[in-house]
Amino acid sequence: MVKALNFKRHRRLRSSSAMRSLVSENHLRMDDFIYPLFIVEGENIKNEVSSMPGVFQISLDFVKDEMEELRSLGIKAVMIFGVPNEKDEQGTGAFIETGIVQEATRRIKKEVPEMLVVADTCLCEYTSHGHCGVIHNQDVDNDESLKLLAKTAVSQAEAGADIIAPSNMMDGFVIVIRQALDEAGYTNIPIMSYAVKYSSAFYGPFRDAADSTPQFGDRKSYQMDPANRLEALREAESDVEEGADFLIVKPALSYLDIVRDVKNTVNTPVVAYNVSGEYAMVKAAAKNGWVDERELVLEKMTAMKRAGADLIISYFAKDVAKWLNE
């Protein structure tokens, strides 16, 4: 026995599983997860995304089964991405009444009305050039793009979306969408803004899944520079002023410092988007037997909570639900 030394015995609170649970500061619960879905035009399609094992592009006829699976797992919210057959310069497929996201939203709300539908509001999946807005002189035109984004948001609300999630990083997108929703009578539909979205190599697998790789250049004139922190706070503050109800930080895991900064700066719920590349890396390592997938994923999810995420958007949501139910 070491005597008379005045050190703290931290291990007292780690002595058993029950003791550790008693003092656990953060918890995972399925109410906090949003599961992303890729809906593709056509019929009888269920394509696994090659860089995202376990994630599928599905056609509308698979929506019912998917919703039943999610409901049985206790997942209460989905985020919808559309993969259209036809693309054009303006991204028309994003805002027409018969667009794939609008159809999928109606289908989901018919099959499982209590499922919350979060509509990703962007143009990149629908434009022939793959950029998130209208192109003028080889650059994305901010204010022209806002008009189409507002139209997209209203058409998604008309289809029954519960939450509008603009992700194209145009300045002013929150206020313009808020105004358009209000004018169309959707004063009660909240905006979950991708307020802090970095220009990131972690989106690679998503662009396979959503077929949205830019055909020229990159997204650096509208998505943020990974070197910057204060810029994230400026983005967060302006989106709150413009009326955002939730703020997303994206990607999540290389940006947990930013999640914490945003959490300490704003009073809205903060959402961490655990993106496609973060998913793919874990899947690849697990497939090789290099990591324990379950332990690793639960650790990462808990880390997002500890950093201040109120909600988590993740392709792992189904796995987490299964693990938590075990």
Residues that bind ligand PBG (CB under 6 A): 120, 122, 124, 132, 167-168, 203, 206-207, 275-276
When the beta carbons of 58 and 124 are compared against ligand PBG, the nearer one is 124
Strands 52-58 and 46-49 come out as antiparallel
When the beta carbons of 81 and 112 are compared against ligand PBG, the nearer one is 81
Please work out, in degrees rounded to the nearest 5, the angle formed at the alpha carbon of residue 58 by the alpha carbons of 278 and 108: 100
d(CA 314, CA 34): 6
Give the shortest CB-266-to-ligand PBG separation in angstroms: 21
Give the shortest CB-1-to-ligand PBG separation in angstroms: 54
Short-list 51, 6, 38, 46, CA closest to 203: 51
Give the shortest CB-21-to-ligand PBG separation in angstroms: 32
When the beta carbons of 173 and 206 are compared against ligand PBG, the nearer one is 206
* Cβ contact 180:205 at 8 Å: no
- Report how far apart, in Å, the C-alpha atoms of 64 and of each of 21, 79, 132, 265, 288 are: 37, 15, 30, 40, 33
Helix residue ranges per DSSP H, the chain: 17-22, 63-73, 100-111, 142-159, 173-183, 204-210, 230-242, 256-265, 276-287, 293-307, 317-325
When the beta carbons of 186 and 316 are compared against ligand PBG, the nearer one is 316
Coil, helix or strand for 57? strand
Whether 250 is a known active-site residue: answer yes
d(CA 61, CA 1): 68
Give the shortest CB-301-to-ligand PBG separation in angstroms: 15
When the beta carbons of 91 and 308 are compared against ligand PBG, the nearer one is 91
Tokens encoding 120: 């990703």
- In angstroms, what is the C-alpha Rg of the chain? 21
Give the shortest CB-44-to-ligand PBG separation in angstroms: 25
Position closest to ligand PBG via CB: 206
* Cβ contact 191:217 at 8 Å: no
- Which of 46, 64, 76, 197 is the catalytic position? 197
- Which of 109, 250, 263, 300 is the catalytic position? 250
Whether 300 is a known active-site residue: answer no
**Catalytic amino acids?**
197, 250
